[in-house]
Copies of this chain bind each other. A is one copy, B any other.
Amino acid sequence: MIFHESTIRVRYGDTDKMGYVYYGNYPLYYEVGRTDLMRDIGMSYRQLEESGFMLPVHNLEVNYHHPAFYDDLLTVKTYLKDLPTARICFHYEVYNEAGLLLNSGKTELVFVDARTMRPVRPPVFFLDLVRKYF
A-side interface residues toward B, CB under 8 Å? 9, 11-13, 15-20, 22-25, 27-28, 31-32, 35, 44-46, 49, 54, 56-64, 67, 69-71, 105
Contact = CB atoms under 8 A, between A and B. Distances in A.
A70 to B, nearest CB: 5
A62 B32 CA distance: 19
Contacts of A11: 28, 31-32, 35
A35 B22 contact: no
Given A15-B16, A15-B17, A61 B64 contact: no
Q: Which residue, A12, A56, A58, has most C-beta atoms of chain B within 10 A?
A: A12
Given A11-B31, A12-B45, A58 B54 contact: no
A64 B57 contact: yes
Given A27-B27, A71-B44, A71-B45, A56 B20 contact: yes
| Copies of chain A in the complex | 4
Contacts of A58: 63-64
A71 B45 CA distance: 8
Contacts of A20: 56
A67 B62 contact: no
A95 to B, nearest CB: 18
